[in-house]
Amino acid sequence: DSGVTQTPKHLITATGQRVTLRCSPRSGDLSVYWYQQSLDQGLQFLIHYYNGEERAKGNILERFSAQQFPDLHSELNLSSLELGDSALYFCASSPGTSGSQETQYFGPGTRLLVL
């Protein structure tokens, strides 16, 4: 158990809908990262938040957005969903105090299926 929790575990929805994925980082971690894992794209970095502020963006679609709240949990919002958005979405956290050598601890993921 990494200490990172993600809800829900599974999500089935229809095209055009909007969903929210939630992540609670490990106690004390200030950095939260979101990744998407799909069969055709592999593991791709989406976005990084540090202590409530956006730090970096990766290959994140404009239909997707995220935020980190004062209690440090994070939400990833996916809207106007398409079939191709079906994937496993991971959240990872790290302390955020030691730079790039820090280990990122991954949650169990949310499996999204868009029908």
Partner 1 sequence: AQSVTQLGSHVSVSEGALVLLRCNYSSSVPPYLFWYVQYPNQGLQLLLKYTSAATLVKGINGFEAEFKKSETSFHLTKPSAHMSDAAEYFCAVRLNFGNEKLTFGTGTRLTIIP
Biggest alpha carbon–alpha carbon distance for the chain? 42
Contact between 83 and 15 (Cβ < 8 Å): yes
Q: Which is nearer to partner 1, 85 or 107 (CB)?
A: 107
Is 3 a binding residue for partner 1 by CB under 8 A? The answer is no
C-beta of residue 3 within 8 angstroms of C-beta of residue 94: no
Question: How many Å from the N-terminal Cα to the C-terminal Cα in the chain?
Answer: 31
Please identify, using beta-carbon distances, which residue of 27 and 101 lies nearer to partner 1. 101
**Is the distance from CB of 44 to CB of 35 less than 8 angstroms?**
yes
DSSP state of 27: T
DSSP SS3 for 41: coil
- When asked if residue 70 is in the footprint of partner 1 (CB under 8 A), the reply is no
Q: Which residue in the set 16, 103, 113, 115 belongs to the binding site for partner 1 (CB under 8 A)? A: 103
Q: Which residue of 42, 62, 70, 71 would you call a contact of partner 1, by CB under 8 A?
A: 42
Write the interaction track for partner 1 spanning residues 4-33; mark x where CB under 8 A is met and - where it is not: x--------------------------x-x
For binding to partner 1 (CB under 8 A), which residues are involved? Answer: 2, 4, 31, 33, 35, 42-45, 48, 55-56, 58, 90, 92, 94, 99-109
